[in-house]
Amino acid sequence: MSDRFWQQAFAVARRDLDRERRAGEVTWVMIPFGAIALLLVPLAIGINQDVLSRIGTGMLFVVVLLFGVLTAVRRTSIETPEQRDLIALLGIDPAAEFTGKTMASAFLLLVFQIAMGAVALVLYGLDISGWAWMIVVMPLTAVGLAELGTVSASVAASTNAGPALVPLLVTPLAIPLLLAATQTVESVDREGGNLTWPVLMAVVVLVLAIVGVATARPLQETR
């Protein structure tokens, strides 16, 4: 991974974050929308505080999954055909493009998770003991979801259905990741924490990174 690689990756990440900053989709849509979802579910299913603090972590990650997937298809991550042609002709290393997009998405997902975590902590009165693990789990979840989103988006970009297909591709794939995240945090309560789940997550994240980098070129080649 040369200097050139990282230069391109950072340029892509910066572009995505700049575009997001102007559009404010994460700030103005995903975070409030996610907060409303966290607020609404307990009301709708009418459960009490005890149950809530037990299932809270699970709910948190469901929301992170469902709305996190939407980051991958946020308006500002979608490129027009003209923009895609331009990028190709600029001679981008497809792996660097994958890396840059993933970095930007992961950053946004991390912000989203922290916001949701704060809301869940206050609303659900979660037990804070397992939350030290959050420092490990949240970034892993963010990167994993971002990788899945980026790969799915570039797979879908080469079909007619376009970005519409992405959530459908990502969500089922992301479920194991989210289950692992939930387990990490919850297992702390039961067994005082063990490394199985976070290590499993780290492995998945790594495998996805390898898959993403390796498939970046073949995916671009269809064009």
Partner 1 sequence: MPASDSLILFEGVAARIGVATILRDVDLVVVPGESVGLFGANGAGKTTLLRVIATLLRPSGGSARVLGVDLASQDRFDIRPRIGLIGHKPALYPELSLLSNLEFSARIAGLDLRLARKALDQVGLAQAATRLVGESSYGMQRRVEFAREIMLDPDLLLLDEPHSALDPSAIELVEHIVAGVLERGGAVVLASHDVEKVAPMVTRTAELAGGTVA
Partner 2 sequence: MSDATRTRIGALDIVATVSVVFALVFAIASPRIESQGEAARLLFVHVPTIWLAYLAFAVTFVASILYLATRRLRWDHVAGASAEIGVVFTTVAIIGGMVWGKATWNVYWTWDARLTLTAIMLFVYIGYLALRRVIAEPEARARRSAVLGIVGLVQLIPVHFSVTWWRTLHQTNTFRPRDIQMDGPILAALLVSVAAFTVVYAALLRHRVRLEGLELAAYAAAAAPVGPVAGDAVSAPNIGNSGAQP
Residues near partner 1 (CB under 8 A) are 4, 7-8, 10-12, 14-15, 18-19, 22-23, 76, 80, 82-83, 85-92, 220-221, 223
Distance CA 57, CA 52 (A): 9
Which residues, in sequence order, are CB contacts of 97 under 8 Å at separation 6+? 8, 9, 12, 87, 216, 220
Span 40-99, contacts to a copy of itself by CB under 8 A: 40-41, 43-47, 55, 58-59, 61-62, 65-66, 75
User: Quick one: what does residue 37 bind among a copy of itself, partner 1, partner 2, none, with the CB cut-off 5 to 8 Å set by partner type?
Assistant: a copy of itself
Report the residue number, 18 or 189, with the smaller CB distance to partner 1.
18
Angle between helices 94-124 and 196-221 (to 10 degrees): 140
Report the residue number, 142 or 174, with the smaller CB distance to partner 2.
174
DSSP 8-state symbol, 72: H
SS3 194: coil
Distance CA 194, CA 208 (A): 23
Which residues of the chain form contacts with a copy of itself (CB under 8 A)? 23-25, 28-29, 32-33, 36-37, 40-41, 43-47, 55, 58-59, 61-62, 65-66, 75, 161, 163-165, 167-168, 171-172, 175, 178-179, 182
